[in-house]
Structure 1
Amino acid sequence: MTGQGGEPSPLEKNRALLDWLEYQVVQVKNRIRELEIQEEQERRRREAAHAALRWKIQPQRSNATALLHRGDCTLYPMDGGFINREEAMIALAEPDIEPCEICRPDTGLVSG
């Protein structure tokens, strides 16, 4: 229903406003989802970069020696329990701990 002079009625104006606001809510929700995904990706990148600067020791198994891995090595995934550079150098000096042949945690460790 149109008001006087061909203008939209107050009801039509409010319905149009509601449509616009619902559109805006959908746009904002989509943007929030995008930002949440970006934040999660950035958090994972930071964690991976931090893990790459640390090391971890895979305990000795019955017939194998213990292994030293880079913190980001996927052959021995774990959460927490990382060791620092000095501790990794000490671990490499131990006769019963060997460096992982895949991630090569000893590369740059001793000379750096």
Structure 2
Amino acid sequence: MSEQDREPTPLEKNRALAEWLEFQLRQVRGRIRELEVQEQQERQRREAAHAALRWKIQPQRSNAQALLHRGDCSLYAMDGGFINREDAMIALAEPDIHPCEICRPETGLTS
């Protein structure tokens, strides 16, 4: 009986099975990483869309005036403290708060 014609031993069968299962596990872990990246990107997209519907006020500094920004404006970064549309309209009416000339937060507020 030749080497090719013989039945694999239980040890050989289990080694082959282990290799197959390790391959499958690598495939699943790769898919999990892809899904995690997609989920993170979707979360960031939702957060950016939500920030675009909010506003923020940059306080007045000694060398700069107070500014109203859109929530997604990158010129003034902050965590939390966003205001809603109604409060943004009130802030825009204040004489000492000016709209950011880059993100133009007044667009859509005054209509």
- TM-score relative to the length of structure 2: 0.93
Shift of 1:86: 0.1
**1:93 and 2:59 are equivalent in the alignment:** no
Q: Which residue of 2 aligns with 1:64?
A: 64
Gaps of 5+ in 2: none
Shift of 1:63: 3.0
Q: Which residue of 2 aligns with 1:106?
A: 106
Q: Which residue of 1 aligns with 2:15?
A: 15
Question: Distance between the aligned counterparts of 1:89 and 1:79, measured in 2?
Answer: 21
Shift of 1:64: 2.0
Q: Percent identical across equivalent pairs?
A: 80
Gaps of 5+ in 1: none
**1:82 and 2:70 are equivalent in the alignment:** no
Question: Distance between the aligned counterparts of 1:64 and 1:7, measured in 2?
Answer: 84
Secondary structure of 1:68's aligned partner: strand
Mean Cα deviation higher: 25-34 or 51-60: 25-34
Which residue identity lines up with residue 73 of structure 2 in the other structure?
A: C
Question: Distance between the aligned counterparts of 2:44 and 2:88, measured in 1?
Answer: 24
Question: Distance between the aligned counterparts of 2:108 and 2:9, measured in 1?
Answer: 75
Question: Distance between the aligned counterparts of 1:106 and 1:66, measured in 2?
Answer: 14
Shift of 1:78: 1.2
Question: Distance between the aligned counterparts of 1:8 and 1:63, measured in 2?
Answer: 82
Which residue identity lines up with residue 60 of structure 2 in the other structure?
A: Q
RMSD: 1.5
| Residues matched between the structures, number | 109
